A = this chain, B = another copy of it.
């Protein structure tokens, strides 16, 4: 055993404040809310310092004090590294966004940001003795969890909408996952998974139903702060399906403030959705605490076709607390922006990433984003996974 130096302390419920032991398997809180990992930040702060970080190489694992994996032997890795922030100068100028950039999560193993959650989630599941897991997916999460799961020697059971892109299905199948295709959207796939969990006792790796996937996603927040010189941009736009990345960025920033690596400045967080599936936008417009199920959802940005997110209240909390907003964009605007960014910048975004640039343009034109603000869009996956969009 080689200790990682993790300062993981306990799990806590953001809804009812219940507390749970982090070293046994937990899923949702008794009250139905996700549980979140909490750290001894004072302990973490003693060793997590600028200078030390620089000497730790690159990638997720060097944030070890604020990650839940306790033993190095359980690290499951496919070579994930920090992802680059790439300026979009020409598109920015065309839209009046003179400091526009995107973070290219397509540069991670399995070609998407889901690798962050899978690297940490699978490692921690392995550490807790899990042998087999189940999850619903719109594609990228399934691809990532299948790959990292295989790497860890875990058995993967994946339920995926029939309409999911073919490349994602192929990824899951060739890395040995048992894939079930489901008529309907991800919430229908979620019902299938709930049945497996109930009947076969599989570990439920659905979005936020285990506490550790988000611990990987929050490294997105860590990297943003580091890459902006231990500061933050003015606005961060995130394509929001389940919303774990947005909650994760917010959690990451809070923890960096807690260990003294970030001051009080916050980016305004923007949840970007497709007009055809915009439950968070509707809730935000009504200043509601939670969203309502979006009937008959449809969008070309398949990854954000999530009619009701279990962590919706956490997404909304993060938006309200940061003076952010939620915005819906039409499929036509998404696909047009994808084509335009490729043609102007040589950058092939995924449709969900293109949605964030379309949203940035919209928010600049209505004045919500001001002239000269530093705007960061999250491109959640490689455009290569969507050749026919």
Contacts and interface: CB of A to CB of B under 8 A. Distances in A.
A370 interface: no
Interface in A301-352: 339, 342-348
Contacts of A82: 58, 81
Contacts of A149: 346
Interface string A134-170: 0000000000001111110000000000000011001
25 contacts: A58-B82, A78-B104, A78-B347, A81-B82, A107-B108, A110-B384, A111-B382, A146-B346, A147-B346, A147-B347, A147-B348, A149-B346, A150-B343, A150-B344, A150-B346, A166-B387, A167-B384, A170-B388, A171-B384, A174-B342, A175-B343, A175-B348, A176-B346, A382-B384, A384-B385
Interface in A276-307: none
Given A146-B346, A148-B346, 15 more contacts: A58-B81, A59-B84, A78-B347, A79-B83, A79-B85, A79-B107, A80-B84, A111-B111, A147-B348, A150-B343, A151-B347, A170-B388, A171-B348, A171-B384, A174-B343
A196 B22 CA distance: 65
A146 B348 CA distance: 11
A18 interface: no
A339 B81 contact: no
Most chain B CB neighbours (cut-off 10 Å) among A58, A81, A174, A339: A174
A81 to B, nearest CB: 6
Contacts of A170: 387-388
Contact of A346 (B81, B86, B167, B175): B175
B79 A86 contact: yes
A111 to B, nearest CB: 5
A167 B387 contact: yes
Given A176-B343, A346-B151, A387-B167, A104 B109 contact: yes
A-B pairs, 10 with minimum CB distance: A79-B84, A150-B346, A151-B346, A147-B346, A79-B86, A174-B342, A170-B387, A167-B387, A175-B346, A176-B343
A120 to B, nearest CB: 15
A343 to B, nearest CB: 5
A77 interface: yes
A151 B345 contact: yes
A384 B111 contact: yes
A152 B376 CA distance: 22
Contacts of A388: 170
Contacts of A344: 150
A85 B57 CA distance: 13
Nearest to A152: B346
A150 B90 CA distance: 11
A79 B346 CA distance: 12
